[in-house]
Chain A
Amino acid sequence: MENSGLFFNLVPLIVILPVVGLLINIIFGQRMNEKTIGTVASAASGLTFVVSLLLGYSLLAGGGEAQSIHFADWIKIGNLDIPWTFRVDTLSVTMMMVVSVVGTLIHIYAIGYMHEDVRFKGDLKRYARFFVFLNLFIAMMMILVSGDSYLMLFVGWEGVGLCSFLLIGFWYDMDTLGRPSWANSNAGNKAFIANRIGDFGFLLAAFTMFWFFGSLQFGDVFLKAEEIAASQPGVIMAITLFMLIGVTGKSAQIPLYVWLPDAMAGPTPVSALIHAATMVTAGVYLITRSWAIFSLVPDAQYIVALVGAITALFAATIAVGQYDIKKVLAYSTISQLGFMITAVGMGAYVAGMFHLIAHAFFKALLFLSAGSIILGLERGHHHLAHHTKPDDPHEEVFDPGDMRNMGGLRKQMPVTFWLYMIGSLALAGIFPFAGFWSKDEILLDAAKNHTVVYVLLTIAAFLTAFYMGRQIWMVFFGKSRHAAAEHAEESPKVITVPLMVLAAASVLGGALNLPFLHSLEKWLEHTIELTAEHAAGFHGYLSISWGGLNPLVALVSTLLALLAIGLSWFLYGRNPVQIGQIDPLKKMLGPLFTVFENKYWVDEIYGVVIIKPYKSLARFLAVKVDWDFWHDWLHDTVIARFFRWFTNFLANPIDLGIIDAISTGLANLTRSSSSALRRLQNGFVRSYALSVLLGVVLILGYLLFK
C-alpha cells in the first residue's frame, strides 16, 4: 500500500475506543469509584483525540488526498452494497478533532461537575451511566462525521439524537431544581420528537437520492449530481430542501428549534458538549459535506441562508429577554448556529466550518463556566442552609441558574469570571478573539452576496454582544441579589483546568484561518471545491481587501459590538439591577421586551396550532375510529358475527353433514358387509373344503369352456 507508514488504518479506533470505554464502565462501573469511572471515560475520549491527530498528520503528510477505509460489510442485497467505510478527508478529520478535543475536556470537567451536582446523591450507578452515555455520544458522533455514505451518516445522526434524548432526560425523575417531576423527561421527549420530524426530512432526502442516484455513497452521489441536475433539476432541489428539514431539526433552526432551550434540562456538561459544541453542528456538517449537491441549486442555497439568518436574529432577540443563565446561552447557540447555516447556505463552507470550530470552543467554555457558576451558587446555598435554618421544609425554592439571584460574583469566583469574560468576548466578536475572525468571515460573505442576509446577521451580531454584556453585568458585577451568591465559592481545579484550555482555544482559535494565511481554507480545499465566493468580482468599497479581510465590514461589526456592550453597560452596569427590580430594558422597550421574555409565545402557539389539534386528532382516531368504529363495530359486530356464522356453517352442514357422513357411512358399510360375510366363516372344515372344491370346479370349468 502506498500509504504505509501513515496512520489511515487506525481510523476504526475512533469508534472502537469510546465503545471500549463505555463497555468497561457498563461492566465494571459499579465496582469502581467515581475517579476511575471518569478516568476511563476521559481516557477513551482522549485516545480518540490522539487518533484524530494522527489521522490529521497522515493527511498532511499524504497531501490531503481523501481516503476510504473499508471496515466491515453491512448491507449486501442483490445490487445494493452498503459497506461500513470510514472516510478520512480534511473535512471529516477537522470534525473528528473538534469533537474529540472538546469531548475530552468536557469528560474531565464532568468528573468534577457530576460529583458536585446537588441532584447527584452518591448513586454510583447513575454516575457510571452518565459517562457511558457520554462515551456512546462520542462514538456516535464519530460515526456521523466519518461515514462514507449518507446511510452511515444517518446511523450517527440517529445515534447522537438518542444520546441527546438520554442525557437531556438524565435526571428523568426530577426537574432542573431536583424536585420530583416529569419536566426533564418531557424535555427529553420534546427534543426527540422535534428531531424525529427533522430526521423524517433527512430520510426523504436519502430515499429521493437513492431513487435517482441508485447509491448513497458520497463519491457516487457527487459524481452523478451534475448530470442529474442537468436532466432533472427538481430532484436536486427536493433533496436539498428535504435535507434542510433534517438540518432544522438537528441544528435547531426555525421552525424546529424549540427543543434546544428545553434541552438545558440536561446536566451542564451535556448542554456544552451535545447542545452547543458538537451534535447541533451536525446540520452544518451535513450541508458542508453535501456541498456538491447544494452548489447546484442556488435557490435552495438562498432558502438555507435565509432560514439561518432569520433564526440568528430571531433567537438573538429571545436571548435578550431571558433570565436563566443557561437559557440565554441556549438561544445564543441557536443564533450562532443560524450564522453557520447562513454561511454554508451562501456557499461559504470554510467560513461556516471556521465558525463551527470557534463556536465549539467558546460556547463550550461559556456553558461550562455557567455550570461552574451554578455549582458556586449551590455551594453558597448549601453553606447558608447549614448556618441558618438547618432543615426547614418551607424553605423557598432556590434556582441557582437564575441570573436575578446572582450579581457581584467576580469577587467570589475570579477564575470563572475571567474565563466567562473570554468566552463572552469571543462570542461577541471582539478583536482578536476567535469569534471575531470567524463571524467576520460570514458577515463579509453575506455583504458580498445577499444584502438582506447581511442586515439580519449584523443586527443579530449586535444583539449577541448586547445579551452577553447584559449577562456579564448581571452575573458578575453589582451587588449580590441573593445570599447564596454572596457565599458562592470558586470551583475546584478539575473543573477550571479544562476551562482554561478551552479559553486558550477561544483566544487563539482565530489563528486557524487568519487573513493572508487562510490555513483552514487551504486545508479544506482538498475536500471542498471553493470557487463561487472567491471568483466573483466585487465593486465599490467591498472590493477592498486585506488578504480576505474587508476593513469596512470588520469595522462595522466591531463598532456595533462595542456599541452593544456600551449599551448593556448603560442599562445594567451603570446602575446594577436591584433585588426585585424590573429589567431596565423592559422599561425602555415595554411590550416588545415582554414578547422577547416569553419567546414570542412560540411554544404556546405550537401548542395551540399543532399539539392541541394533534392530540384531539389522536383522541378522535383512538376513540372514534379505532375503538368505536374499528373495534366495536367492525371487529366485534361485522367480522365476529360473520365469523360466527361462517364457523357454524362449516361445523354443521359441512363438517357434520358431509365430512362426518362420509366417514360414518364408510364405517357402517364396512360393518354391515362384514356381518354378512362372517356367516361364511362357520368354522366347519368340511364346508371350507367344499368351497375349495367348488372353486376348483368353477375355475376348471371356466378354463375348459371359455
Chain B
Amino acid sequence: MARAVMAVTLACLFSIYPLLGRQTIIDIHGSADEVLAQSRGKVLVLVFVRTDCPISNRYAPLLQEMNKMYGPQVSFRLVFPDRTESTDKIRHYMQEYRYELSAIRDLNHALVKRTMAKATPEAAVFDAKGQLVYHGRIDNLYEHIGQVRRAATTHELAEAIEAASKGLNPPVSTTEAVGCFISDLE
C-alpha cells in the first residue's frame, strides 16, 4: 500500500530535464526516499556541491574520475543544495566543469537532512540496501579552509565506496567535511 503511493509521488515530484551527454538534473521536493529507491540494489554516492564553492569546484576532475572508475554498479549523483541555483545555472556550470554525472536539486534539503551533510563538498554513501554507511569528506586535501595539502593522503570516500560495493562497512563511517557551509542556505 505505502509503496504504491510512493510510486505515484515519484511521478509527479520529479521533473527530468533532457540534457547533452549524460547529464540529467532532477529536482527533488519531497522525501529523500525516492532517490534512494531509484538506486536500490546499487551503491549510491551523493556529493553535495554548489556552483560558487571553490573547494567543491576543485574536486570536479576527481569526482568525474571516480564516477568513471566505479562504472554502472555505483550510482554517482551531484546534489545542489542551494535553492537559488537554477537548473540553467547548474547545467551551464556542469558543462563548464565537464561533469558527465546526473545531478539533483535538493530544494527542501531532504537529502541534506537524510545524510546530515554540513558542507560542500561532502559525500554520502548508501549501500545496496539503502543504509547510509558513510558521510563526510571526500579526502583530506583540505585540513581547514585555506589549509591545503599538495595532495590528499587519506581517501575516505573511495574506501567507503569500495567497502560498500563488497557489502562491508567502511573503515570510517563519519568524518568532518571542510568546505562551504550548507546551513548558510537555510
Partners in one complex: no
Residues on A lying within 8 angstroms of B by beta carbon are none
Residues on B lying within 8 angstroms of A by beta carbon are none
